Amino acid sequence: MDVEVRYIDDSKGNGLFAKKNFSEDSILFEESPLVCVQFSWNAEYGYKACDHCLKPLETAEENVRRLTGKTEIVLPYPELCTTNKSTITQCSGCGVEYCNADCQEKAFNQYHRTLCVQTGPLQCLNDAWKQIHYPPETGNVMLIPRILATIQQSCDKENTLNRFLKFCHRSVNDDSHLAHKLLGEKFANQISTLHSLLVQSMPHEHVSQLLSPEGFQSLLALMGTNGQGVATSPFSQWVENVPEKDLVSKLYEDMDANVGSFLDNEGVGLFETQSAANHSCLPNAEIVYRHNNSTLSLRALRDIEAGEEICISYVDECTLSSSRHSRQKELRENYLFNCNCPKCLEQADDPDVTSDEDMSDSDE
C-alpha cells in the first residue's frame, strides 16, 4: 500500500497519510468493503444490482428504458455497455442474484450460508426498516445481519470481531445521539422494534454481545458514522465513451423527468482504510467507483506529497460550498467533531450565519 494509517493525537485519533508522491487524478489506493448492502428502497424500486458487489445486472439500454419509462428506446453503441448478463447467477435457496459465480461463492462463504436460511425473518426486518427509513436513503439495517454473519462464519472470529469493533470508538451517549439522527423522532420505539426483529432472525452464537440492545445501538451508530455510500450505474458507464453528447443530455433530461435524481444502484459499505481518512472542507482526495462495483478507489484531487495527510469530504458538494457555520453544524451532528481544517480556520472570524439554502431545515 502507498498509504498508511497513523496516529495523530487524542483529539483527531488516526489519519491516513501518503507514503509517496501522487500526481493530481492518480489513484491512491483501492479496496473492497468488509461488508456492503444495497439500500432497501433502491432494491424495491427495481434497481438491479449484484447482491454481493452491487455491480449492475441491467444493460445500459434496459437501465435507460426503466429510468425514462420509455420502453422503445434503442441505445446505439451496445458494445460500450459493460454489463455481462450471461454470467449472472442466482442463489437456489432464496433467489438473490449475483453478477457471477465468483461473487455468489464469496457471499456464501462470508455470510450468505447463515443468512440464506433466515430469508423469511430477515424480510420482516427489511420491511420494518423500509417503514422507518424512506428515500433519500443513508443507511440500511440489513448491513447488520451481514456483519454478524461474517463474524459467525469466519474461521478467526476474534480477529474478525475486532476488525468491526475498530470502527466503533464512541461512548454510549454518542451512540444514542447517532441512532436518533438516523431514525428520527420516534427512534426509541423504532430501535426496539428493529432490535427484536434482528434478534429473532439471527443465530446468537459468538455475537450475543452485539445482539444486546446496546450492541445493536452501537452497530447502528457505526453505520451512521462509518458507512460509506456506494453507487453503480450501467448507464453512466456507457455514457463515458459515447461521442454524441446531445443524445446523452436528452436521455438525462428524460430520466430526470421520470425518476428525478435517483439514477444509480445505491448502497452502503464499511471500508477499513478509507474510514481512517479524516474530513477536510478543502479535501485533497475523493472517492470514486470506477469499476462499477463496490470496490472503492481514492483519487487525488491535486498533487499530494509523501508524508502529507490524505483528507476527503464527509459532506456533499452543496454543504461543502456553504458557510463555515453550516458545514460545522452538519459535521458536529453527524460525525461528532469540530472541523479545524485550513478553510474553517481561515473563516473562523466569519459571523455564525447559516447558508440560505439550508435555512429551511436548520431549526432543531
Tell me which residues touch Zn ion (CB under 5 A).
Answer: 50, 52-53, 55, 91, 93-94, 99, 103, 116, 281, 339, 341, 344
Of 50 and 223, the one with the shorter C-beta distance to Zn ion is 50
Distance in Å, CB of 97 to Zn ion, minimum: 9
Burial code (b: 16+ CB inside 10 Å, e: under 16) for 27-55 equals ebbebbbbbbbbbbbbbeeebbbbbbbbb
C-alpha span between 178 and 191 (Å, rounded) = 12
Of 253 and 346, the one with the shorter C-beta distance to Zn ion is 346
Of 206 and 291, the one with the shorter C-beta distance to Zn ion is 291
Q: Which residue has the cell 451508530?
A: 221
Of 26 and 84, the one with the shorter C-beta distance to Zn ion is 84
- Residues 39, 44, 47, 53, Cα dihedral to 10°: 40
Order of strands across the sheet that contains 265-270:
35-38, 265-270, 228-232
C-alpha span between 355 and 364 (Å, rounded) = 15
Distance in Å, CB of 344 to Zn ion, minimum: 3
C-alpha span between 298 and 31 (Å, rounded) = 9
Distance in Å, CB of 84 to Zn ion, minimum: 11
Of 28 and 311, the one with the shorter C-beta distance to Zn ion is 311
Residue 296 near residue 328 (C-beta atoms within 8 A): no
Distance in Å, CB of 246 to Zn ion, minimum: 33
Order of strands across the sheet that contains 278-279:
3-9, 13-18, 309-312, 278-279
Of 29 and 335, the one with the shorter C-beta distance to Zn ion is 335
Of 143 and 339, the one with the shorter C-beta distance to Zn ion is 339
Distance in Å, CB of 142 to Zn ion, minimum: 14
C-alpha span between 266 and 239 (Å, rounded) = 18
C-alpha span between 293 and 82 (Å, rounded) = 11
> What type of residue sits at position 4?
E
Distance in Å, CB of 290 to Zn ion, minimum: 16
The x, y and z cell numbers of residue 295, run together, are 470496490
Of 99 and 223, the one with the shorter C-beta distance to Zn ion is 99
Of 99 and 219, the one with the shorter C-beta distance to Zn ion is 99
Instruction: Calculate the alpha carbon distances from 326 to 174, 225, 234, 266, 337 in Å.
Output: 21, 18, 35, 26, 14
